[in-house]
């Protein structure tokens, strides 16, 4: 996967960091942070539900193997990670990094903290643990820059999934659509029968961006999807314009109150049978399970139309920041995090699948088992909506463009705005 050049936002960050180095980066400063006293400060935004349970299970696994090393769960709640990222940015700029922190693989890591020279390579850990044998190379590429590997993936979520209410499908005599033309035909049928075809909760915008990136993936394929965000393919490409036109049509079939709903609220519409389908990352599977729905009975799933054989990856990773005083302890934690035992402790609780390909399938349910098999065989592509395919600056501008398009549905304005976003991020 090609990487973006260092962009304006992080130039400013780097200048701040360099200016602070002489005052705060030395291990002899005697700082008061958890990373300076041997205790591991584990920073994330996993504070509720299965994700919190998974984190607790991972910490317990580490304590079993290293009872002499204390771990502080320093998770920050709110905004689906937005609050945590703001706190993290302030701490990193101030020379007070946590021992290790959650970051999405891809450009959120590479064009962010790696480009800002805030992370240390982990090539030695990969060699010691033979991780190149169990992590797919495409996944390792998402955490690598200039032949150095900077993070350990702990989980995998899939971003190109359509979930559906099985009873609604059965009552209407339909199956999961395999193309976007089929989707529109199915949507017409559902709407004529009084069912909302597609549940959307874009109060936070990114769920709408997910729909659009899935349409792009269907029309461009994995390789050209990557090239789009690298600036090698323009947004005047006829496939991109067609994707925008299709997105415009799809939006005609979502619930009217979509802008007031979060993703969980949209998923609830499917649970209740008020809507037939929801395009969402596979954390929605955990939500449906929490509603006591039975997989392959009450709800089903399929790859989003036109994306069979591809796997849109969203991966949470942890790395080794510079300017911490407990590197050895953090490396011990990262070793457990990347181990089979650590990943099999964490992922069944969180509802994700492991980044390793040698997992014990008996630990996972029906949905996860299917997803694990697909992960091994599919072409991997990084999600734009979740910060992996492009720098944060680009993602923010794309979300803004999507938010406007959902209301105005102006294709020309939309593609121009998208081009401007990518141009700004690749200068």
Total Cβ atoms within 10 A of residue 31:
18
Range of the domain at 179: 158-312+386-426
Do 26 and 74 share a domain, yes or no? yes
Do 210 and 289 share a domain, yes or no? yes
Do 410 and 422 share a domain, yes or no? yes
* 194 SS3 class: coil
Where b means 16+ CB within 10 Å and e means fewer, 345-373 reads bbbbbbbbbbbbeebeeeebeebbbbbbe
Examine residue 1 and state whether it is found in any structural domain, yes or no.
no
Examine residue 373 and state whether it is found in any structural domain, yes or no.
no
Spatial separation of the C-alpha atoms in residues 208 and 223, rounded to whole Å: 22
Helix residue spans in 34-147 (DSSP H): 49-65, 82-93, 107, 123-129, 137-141
Contact 104, 317 (CB under 8 A): yes
> Residue 368 phi/psi, 5° resolution?
-60, -40
Do 204 and 99 share a domain, yes or no? no
State the number of CA atoms in the 13 A half-sphere of 306 facing the CB.
Answer: 20
Q: How many domains, in total, are found in the chain?
A: 2
Q: Provide block-wise average pLDDT over 10 residues at a time, the chain (427 residues).
A: 41 39 36 58 91 94 97 88 91 96 96 96 98 95 97 97 98 97 98 98 96 98 95 97 98 98 95 97 89 95 97 97 96 98 93 92 93 92 94 94 98 98 84
The whole-number pLDDT of residue 81 equals 81
* 322 SS3 class: coil
Spatial separation of the C-alpha atoms in residues 215 and 203, rounded to whole Å: 20
The whole-number pLDDT of residue 24 equals 36
CATH number of the domain enclosing 283: 3.40.190.10
Do 146 and 201 share a domain, yes or no? no
Do 85 and 168 share a domain, yes or no? no
Spatial separation of the C-alpha atoms in residues 291 and 288, rounded to whole Å: 5
Q: DSSP of 275-312, one letter per residue?
A: EEEEE--THHHHHHHHTTPPBTTTEEEEEPTT-TTEEE
Do 114 and 163 share a domain, yes or no? no
Q: Which residues lie closer than 8 Å to 185 by C-beta, 6 or more apart? A: 177
Do 118 and 221 share a domain, yes or no? no
Do 196 and 268 share a domain, yes or no? yes
């Amino acid at each position: 996967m090609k990487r973006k050049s260092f962009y304006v936002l992080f130039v400013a960050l780097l200048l701040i960091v360099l200016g602070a180095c002489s005052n705060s980066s030395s291990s002899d400063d005697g700082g008061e942070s958890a990373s300076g006293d041997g205790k591991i400060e584990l920073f994330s935004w996993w504070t509720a539900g299965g994700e919190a349970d998974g984190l607790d299970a991972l910490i317990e696994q580490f304590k079993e193997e290293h009872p002499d090393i204390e771990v502080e769960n320093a998770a920050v709640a709110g905004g689906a990670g937005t609050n945590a990222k703001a706190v993290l940015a302030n701490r990193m700029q101030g020379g007070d990094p946590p021992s290790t922190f959650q970051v999405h693989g891809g450009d959120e890591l590479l064009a962010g903290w790696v480009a800002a020279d805030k992370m240390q390579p982990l090539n030695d850990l990969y060699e010691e643990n033979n991780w190149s044998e169990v992590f797919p190379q495409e996944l390792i590429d998402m955490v690598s820059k200039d032949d150095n590997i900077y993070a350990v993936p702990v989980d995998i979520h899939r971003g190109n999934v359509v979930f559906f209410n099985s009873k609604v499908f059965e009552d209407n005599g339909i199956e999961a659509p395999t193309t976007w033309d089929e989707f529109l035909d199915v949507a017409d049928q559902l709407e004529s029968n009084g069912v909302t075809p597609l549940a959307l909760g874009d109060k936070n915008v990114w769920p709408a961006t997910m729909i659009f990136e899935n349409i792009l993936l269907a029309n461009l394929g994995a390789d050209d999807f990557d090239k789009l965000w690298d600036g090698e393919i323009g947004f005047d490409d006829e496939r991109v314009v067609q994707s925008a036109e299709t997105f415009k049509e799809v939006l005609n079939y979502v619930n009217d109150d979509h802008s007031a709903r979060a993703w969980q609220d949209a998923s609830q519409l499917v649970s209740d049978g008020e809507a037939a389908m929801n395009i969402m990352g596979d954390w929605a599977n955990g939500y449906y399970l929490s509603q006591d729905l039975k997989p392959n009975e009450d709800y089903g799933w399929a790859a989003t139309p036109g994306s069979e054989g591809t796997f849109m990856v969203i991966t949470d990773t942890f790395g080794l920041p510079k300017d911490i005083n407990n590197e050895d302890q953090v490396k011990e934690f990262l070793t457990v995090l990347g181990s089979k035992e650590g990943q099999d402790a964490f992922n069944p609780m969180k509802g994700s699948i492991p980044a390793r390909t040698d997992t014990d399938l008996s630990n996972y349910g029906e949905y996860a088992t299917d997803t694990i098999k697909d992960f091994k065989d599919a072409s991997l592509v990084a999600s734009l909506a979740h910060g992996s395919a492009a720098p944060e600056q680009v993602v923010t501008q794309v979300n803004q463009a999507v938010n406007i398009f959902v209301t105005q549905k102006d294709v020309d304005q939309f593609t121009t705005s998208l081009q401007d976003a990518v141009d700004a991020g690749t200068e």
